[in-house]
Amino acid sequence: MTETIDQTPVVTRNDEKSRYEISLGDTVAGFAAFQPQPGRLAFTHTVVDPVFEGQGLGSALVREALADTAARGEVIVPFCPFIQDWLKRHPEFDGTIDWEPATA
């Protein structure tokens, strides 16, 4: 009998490494790095391992990371160009974003 590995993407917040991670099984496929600030998270860059590109993992990662950030009552500060572009297409996060530092 062949054992199957769950390949459902799971996003977790790793405060020790200051990032949200997206994993498939035991493999970290990508992350969104942040710098914590009082009441805010400044997202600095997003990385998806090239092996996993083209599967929508970057969007899934950002969606879950930003939803968690907003649910915690923290303001999203998007320095990362990928996150900036994603947010422009998803107005549901408009009330939780500080664009000023990202566009200055």
Q: Tell me: the pLDDT tens digits for 17-50?
A: 999 999 999 999 999 999 999 999 999 999 999 9
Tokens of 36: 């914590």
41-100 pLDDT, tens digit per residue, is 999 999 999 999 999 999 999 999 999 999 999 999 999 999 999 999 999 998 899 997
pLDDT of residue 78: 97
Token digits of residue 89? 């297409």
- The ranges assigned to domains in the chain are 10-103
4, pLDDT greater than 50: no
CATH pick for 10-103 out of 3.40.630.30, 2.60.40.10, 2.40.50.140, 3.20.20.70: 3.40.630.30
For residues 87 and 66, what is the distance between their CA atoms, to the nearest angstrom? 9
Identify the pLDDT of residue 1: 46
Between vectors from CA 45 to CA 79 and to CA 95, what angle results, nearest 5°? 45
Residue carrying the six token digits 């994993």: 23
In angstroms, the CA 65 to CA 59 distance is 10
Can you give the pLDDT at residue 7?
81
End-to-end Cα distance, the chain:
58
Burial of 31 (0-12, 13-18, 19+ CB in 10 A): buried
